[in-house]
Structure 1
Amino acid sequence: ELQDIIAILGLDELSDEDKLIVSRARKVQRFLSQPFFVAEQFTGLKGVLVPIEDTIRGFNAIMDGEVDEYPEAAFNLVGTLEDAVEKGKKLMAAAQA
């Protein structure tokens, strides 16, 4: 439903609550794009084996808003939530420099 609204009106027309939902959903999408061993030759990134428990914990933390302060890009092609937080801090520091 939100995808249709975004496609027609754009993200700016959403309520603050809906913007937060979309932001968290996009972070989850990025977070689940973990660097796989089979993709190393295509991405140039070393594959990471993340236990399912860590992935679920990371998913829940994102949905609970525990990492709202970090940019969406921090969650792309990382292993654990801790990796995403570290990447997020670096991205934020670089943006301020």
Structure 2
Amino acid sequence: MDEAGKKRRLDIQELEEIWNDAYENEAIYKEKTKAFHDKMMSPKVFITGQKVLLYHSRFKINSSKLWSHWVGPFVVTNVFDYGAIKIKSEQAGKIFKVNGHRLKPF
């Protein structure tokens, strides 16, 4: 009985070492993946007068492969700090203030 207990403790220690190795490998993988993703991201720079398209999130509800999720074109009228951008519709003349993440160059 005593030998079975020792073997069981050794098995538990080995299992904990395997868990710790897996945890460390996961952390390393996440760091490398984030670094790669950040390296591939290019910052969007918008200037006044530039034409852009706006991502329309309501189209996600009626998802269809044939519908475009981008509407526009819009004209950038003002660029604020921290990514806020004021755009003006060419057709209706309405002015919107949106996040720069929702825009892409036309």
Give the TM-score of the pair, scaled to structure 2: 0.22
From the two aligned structures, give the one with the greater helix fraction: 1
From the two aligned structures, give the one with the greater strand fraction: 2
The structure whose Rg is larger is 2
Give the TM-score of the pair, scaled to structure 1: 0.24
> Which structure is richer in relative contact order (CA contacts within 8 A, separation 6 or more)?
1
